[in-house]
Amino acid sequence: MGQLAVPLAKLLGAGRVVAAAGSPEKAAFLRALGADEVISYGRESWGEPVDVVVDAVGGGLLPRLVAALAPGGRLVAYSSGGGTVQAHDLLAGGKSLIGFQMARLARTRAADYTAWRDELWALRAAGRLRPAIHARVPLAEAAEAHAIIERRENLGKVVLVP
Ligand SMILES: NC(=O)c1ccc[n+]([C@@H]2O[C@H](COP(=O)([O-])OP(=O)(O)OC[C@H]3O[C@@H](n4cnc5c(N)ncnc54)[C@H](OP(=O)(O)O)[C@@H]3O)[C@@H](O)[C@H]2O)c1
């Protein structure tokens, strides 16, 4: 999902887009997608604070993500990775935490969901948003598709072809 978040942030006018990645290959991929900076999770300092964090990882990374926010900043959590945030870490900087799930939006705010989806399709049709496909794998070899994702090799989508 991060491969779409980076160009979308640029298209929507974000001044500085900082992407986080775990390997040099993914860092180069994110730079090519328009990230102004790419940080490695393991690095001690993540640089200047940001106004919005969009988190696909969760778990033990959450406290660092909250710390990476500037005062008044927002953390949007959409991963399946769980994790815990201390309320004090939010109130001290006037920060907020927002949960986001597309499937729930589709059910509970169908009109908004449709409008936002149409906006994305229009960007895609105009060639301004181009989802990257890492590999196309025959459905019969679905295990290999899973293995690619488990090895964290994929730069973009792994598509199963029926
Ligand atoms: N809320 C929603 O509506 C919604 C919609 C779609 C997906 N999701 C969730 O969003 C998350 C990302 O989905 P995705 O399709 O972008 O997955 P993905 O292609 O597998 O990307 C996830 C990235 O997370 C990083 N990562 C960090 N720790 C990891 C770990 N322990 N295991 C695996 N990856 C790890 C990896 O990057 P590095 O190797 O660079 O660390 C990996 O490229 C998932 O949790 C998914 O369930 C939520």
How does pLDDT run across 80-98, given as a tens digit for each residue? Answer: 999 999 999 999 899 999 9
Closest CA to 5 of 102, 146, 88: 102
Quote the ligand 1 centre to 56 CA distance (angstroms): 5
Mean pLDDT for the stretch of residues 25-45: 92
Sign of the dihedral through C-alpha 60, 62, 63, 67: positive
Counting runs of H as helices and runs of E as strands, what totals does the chain give? Answer: 7, 7
Mean pLDDT for the stretch of residues 141-147: 98
Quote the ligand 1 centre to 80 CA distance (angstroms): 8
Structural domains of the chain in order of their starting residue, each with its CATH number: 2-129 (3.40.50.720), 132-162 (no CATH)
How does pLDDT run across 95-130, given as a tens digit for each residue? Answer: 999 999 999 999 999 999 999 999 999 999 999 999
pTM: 0.93
Predicted local confidence at residue 5, as pLDDT: 96
Residues with CB under 6 A from ligand 1: 1-2, 21-23, 26, 56-57, 78-81, 100-102, 149, 152, 154
CB 51 within 8 A of CB 74: yes
**Tokens describing residue 31:** 């730079």
- The DSSP code sequence of 18-65 is EEEESSHHHHHHHHHTT-SEEEETT-S---S-EEEEEES--GGGHHHH
The answer, yes or no, to whether residue 44 has pLDDT greater than 90, is no
Quote the ligand 1 centre to 32 CA distance (angstroms): 19
How does pLDDT run across 46-63, given as a tens digit for each residue? Answer: 989 999 999 999 999 999
